[in-house]
Amino acid sequence: MDTQVAFESQSKAVSSMAGTKPKVVARDCNVYYGEKHALKNVSVDIPNHSVTAFIGPSGCGKSTFLRCINRMNDTISICRVTGNILIDGQNIYDPALDVVQLRARVGMVFQKPNPFPKSIYDNVAYGPKIHGLARGKSDLDDIVEKSLEKAGLWKEVKDRLNDSGTGLSGGQQQRLCIARAIAVGPEVILMDEPCSALDPIATAKVEELIDELKSNFCIIIVTHSMQQAARVSQRTAFFHLGILVEEGPTSTIFTNPSDKRTQDYITGRFG
């Protein structure tokens, strides 16, 4: 029964996007942690230049799916992934694909701000340095400044670029992490509950930033806050027990969900 519904909603999602070319395409994606089947047959299309929110109760597989998109699950030895995920038509699980290059194309921002215990400058400059993006010091300075500007942090830190990144406030640290992610010029940015460790003011700033960034990037955000999903996303996907229950334009999901479980979740009856 469950799978039946899931397939229905997926076909609907795919059909509703007819016309625009999706950035990320997942087909029959399964994830196993040892014996545990954590993600079941997920198929979804994610459009470019927009924000897609993954919502759902704890342990529903939304973070697992997010980490499939930049193959961060590879670092967990017992984790096994089947199915296909395509970015711009290229299968990222193709053995010929270099995972390091993939992660440069698909940036990630984590739940807890995790700046390197280095200077603000070095935090942002690290990615461009290892990928050889900058030609010389002034070019690198330029990338750092642009990235911090895009992350809305430049004005606050431009006089103390050599201070430690860990000395910033929580919200500033998270925006530093976003600057670090965009410094390598990714196409997709994955955000795993980026505001869960932040206070409301810092959250508002990060949300504003996400809204600005969507014009340049394909952003996928996992969130527990339905208000946040409603505020920042154009499309929303609801996960439940490892199944993608429903996906569609955010307004539709929140006002007129087609699945009972989605309705129950967004009205706060479980989860």
Partner 1 sequence: MTDMTANIPTSHVRRLNFASTEAQARVRSRYRTEARFRWYGIAALTVTTVFLVVLVADIVVKGFPAFWQNSVYLDVALPAETVDPKGNRDTAEIRGADYNALARAALAAAIPGIEGRAAKKQLNELLSSGAADNLREEVVANPTLIGTTVKAKLLLSDNADLYLKGDGTSITRYAATRGIATPTATTGEVKVLVSSNDFAEILVSIKRDLELRGGALEREARRLDGNPDAGAHVKELRAEAQGLKDRYSKPSVAETLDARMPTRLIATNGGLIKISAISDSEATGEVLLPLTSTAEAKAGDWQIVTYETPEASRNVNDRMVTFLEKLKAENKVASNFNFAFFTSGDSREPELAGILGALVGSALLLVVTLLICLPIGVMASIYLEEFAVKNWMTDIIEININNLAAVPSIVFGLLGLAVFLNFFGLPRSAPLVGGLVMALLVLPTIIIAARAALKAVPPSIKEAALGVGASKQQAIFHHVLPLAMPGIMTGTIIGMAHALGETAPLLMIGMIAFIVDVPQGFTEAATALPVQIYLWSDLPEPAFQAKTAAAIVVLLVFLFLMNGTAIWLRKRFERRW
- In the complex, the residues that contact partner 1 under the rule CB under 8 A are 70, 72, 75, 77, 100-104, 107-110, 112, 114-117, 126-127, 130-131, 177, 180-181, 183-184
CA separation for the pair 106, 22 (Å, rounded): 15
In what helix (H) or strand (E) does residue 248 lie, and over which residues does it extend? strand 243-249
Give whichever of 196 and 258 is closer to partner 1, judged by the CB atom. Answer: 196
Nearest approach, Cβ of 103 to partner 1 (angstroms)?
A: 4
CB of 99 to partner 1, least distance (A): 9
Taking the CA atoms of residue 149, residue 187, residue 10 and residue 271 in that order, the dihedral angle to the nearest 10 degrees is: -40
Beta-carbon contacts of 43 under 8 Å, excluding residues fewer than 6 positions away, are 10, 14, 26, 27, 28, 29, 244
> C-beta of 108: minimal distance to partner 1 in Å?
4
Distance in Å, CB of 102 to partner 1, minimum: 8
Residue closer to partner 1 by CB (options 143, 230) is 143
CA dist., res. 98 & res. 15, Å (int): 32
Nearer to partner 1, 107 or 257 (CB): 107
260 CB contacts (<8 Å, ≥6 apart)?
A: none
Cβ 224 to partner 1 shortest distance, Å? 19
Query: In this structure, what is the dihedral angle of CA atoms 78, 81, 86, 90, given to the nearest 10 degrees?
Result: 70
Q: What DSSP state is assigned to residue 241?
A: T
Q: Which is nearer to partner 1, 24 or 266 (CB)?
A: 24
**Least distance (Å) between residue 67 CB and partner 1:** 10
Nearer to partner 1, 165 or 171 (CB): 165
CA distances from 194 to 86, 129, 205, 206 (A): 24, 25, 12, 8
Two tokens, residue 231? 């505020």
Q: Are 28 and 82 in contact (CB under 8 A)?
A: yes
Cβ-based nearer residue to partner 1, 49 or 112:
112
Angle, vertex CA 222, rays to CA 218 and CA 227, nearest 5? 105
Query: Which CB atom, from 108 or from 244, has the smaller least distance to partner 1?
Result: 108
Closest distance of CB 116 from partner 1, Å: 6
